[in-house]
Copies of this chain bind each other. A is one copy, B any other.
Amino acid sequence: MTPELSADELQSQATPPAEHASARVGIVGAGQLARMGWQAAISLDLDLLCLGAADEAAAGAGAPLLEGNGRDPAALATLAGRCQVLTFEHELVDLPAIVELEANGVQIRPSATVLALAVDKLHQRRTLSGMDDVEVPSYAPVTDLSEVESFAADHGWPVVLKARSGGYDGRGVWICASRSTAGQALQEGQDAGLELYVEEAVDIALELAVLVARSPSGEVAVYPPVETCQVDGMCRWVVMPARVPENIAREVEELARNLAVHVGLEGLLAVELFLTRDDRLLVNELALRTHNTGHVHTEASTTSQFEQHLRAVLDLPLGVTAQIAAAAAMVNVVGPQDGSDPASRLQDALRVPGASVHLYGKRARPGRKLGHVTVCAARPETALTLALDAADRLEGND
Query: Residues of A at under 8 Å CB distance from B?
Result: 19, 21-22, 35, 38-39, 42-45, 60-64, 299-300, 302-303, 311, 316-317, 319-320, 322, 324-325, 343-344, 346-347, 350-351, 353-354, 356-361, 371, 376
Contact = CB atoms under 8 A, between A and B. Distances in A.
Given A42-B61, A343-B22, A316 B356 contact: no
A61 B35 CA distance: 12
A386 to B, nearest CB: 10
A232 to B, nearest CB: 25
Contacts of A39: 39, 42-43
Copies of this protein chain in the complex: 2
Nearest to A314: B347
A368 to B, nearest CB: 14
A38 B62 contact: yes
Nearest to A346: B21
Contacts of A371: 45
A204 to B, nearest CB: 32
A322 B62 CA distance: 30
Contacts of A361: 45
A236 to B, nearest CB: 20
A290 B317 CA distance: 31
Nearest to A351: B317
A302 B343 CA distance: 21
A347 B63 contact: no
A311 B355 CA distance: 13
A209 to B, nearest CB: 22
Contacts of A376: 302, 324
A182 B347 CA distance: 53
Given A62-B62, A343-B45, A320 B360 contact: no
Contacts of A300: 324
B44 A359 contact: yes
Contacts of A350: 311, 316-317, 319
Nearest to A304: B356
15 contacts: A39-B39, A42-B60, A43-B357, A43-B359, A44-B346, A45-B359, A45-B361, A45-B371, A62-B64, A302-B354, A302-B356, A316-B350, A317-B351, A319-B350, A324-B376
Given A64-B62, A325-B324, A45 B299 contact: no
Nearest to A42: B61
B42 A35 contact: yes
